[in-house]
Amino acid sequence: MSALPDLFPGLAERRVKTAPGVEIYARVGGSGPPLLLLHGYPETHVCWHKVAPDLARHCTLVIADLRGYGASSAPAGDAEHTIYSKRAMAGDCLALMHALGHPRFMVAGHDRGGRVAYRLALDHPEAVAALAPIDIVPTGEVWQRANAGWAMRAYHWTFLAQSHPLPETLIGNDPDYYLEHTLKSWAKSRDLTPFSPEALAHYRALMQSPASVHAICEDYRAGASIDRKLDDADTAAGRKIACPTLVLYASDYLAGGPLDIWRPWCSDVRGASVTSGHFLAEENPQDTLAALIPFLKAHG
């Protein structure tokens, strides 16, 4: 990480072995009840840099790179895509938090990190005190609702899930173009102005790494296979997220309010919209904090 800008001065760096061949990188600091922050695609832990100083006044932050992203390990995928299942990635999070002395904690996750976060809450209810999935609906619900309009808006779900090495090869041809196209397409402003130059350096490094691009594709291959199966099995069994849940969603990304989709999944859920494109914490950090902090204070 030393070659990339440090966006979290004062926060310690930690590396924790969470599984055979897997080490998770995190920044740790602040005071108060523990809060795990998980990023999405195509980003890394630095997506939280605009909100971290305020959150650190209320919580002890653990800001992690997911398996395969940023400075965390990026193991090669397997035929069943279990290595990048959200269950395996949630296991990383649990091991990380236990190693840092936090057997019970709150978790907020954006995009792919939100999928890891709700899987963590379903698989390990004893560990998750409160959950905030940001700008997503459950993976199983996404596939059940897929139609032509969704396919045009969310082409990356099926593109990245194609068999190796098709998406890896195409992205590798011009990773900066692919990254910037994705960020612009999902931002409310349709440009790169919400993203600091320092954060962009991290995101470009992510997409320039063949191992990380492979990991990202495996993440989405898991989403189209094992993650979907796990969600469908939970739905069939009537399992619900037990902890208090705050669904944050962007005014200009998800089509329609997602709260009605989340209600059958949760025992205790509420929602809030933030005026933003998909990248709430970078596009509108003030309103993101205004929605998130009261929830964290109530349940930490």
Q: Catalytic residue at 111?
A: yes
On whether the CB atoms of residues 77 and 221 are closer than 8 A, the answer is yes
| Nearest alpha-carbon partner for 135 in 263, 278, 262 | 278
CA atoms of 177 and 80, how far apart (whole Å)? 30
Beta bridge partners of 30: 60
Phi and psi dihedrals of 160, rounded to 5? Answer: -70, -25
Q: What 3-state class would DSSP assign to 15? A: strand
Beta bridge partners of 63: 27, 37
Q: Catalytic residue at 234?
A: no
The residue annotated as part of the active site, out of 39, 49, 214, 278, is: 278
The residue annotated as part of the active site, out of 92, 111, 135, 219, is: 111
Do β-strands 128-134 and 34-38 pair in parallel, antiparallel, or remain unpaired? unpaired
Amino acid letter for position 185: S
CA atoms of 102 and 120, how far apart (whole Å)? 14
CA atoms of 55 and 30, how far apart (whole Å)? 8
Do β-strands 128-134 and 22-30 pair in parallel, antiparallel, or remain unpaired? unpaired
Which residues are marked as active site? 111, 278
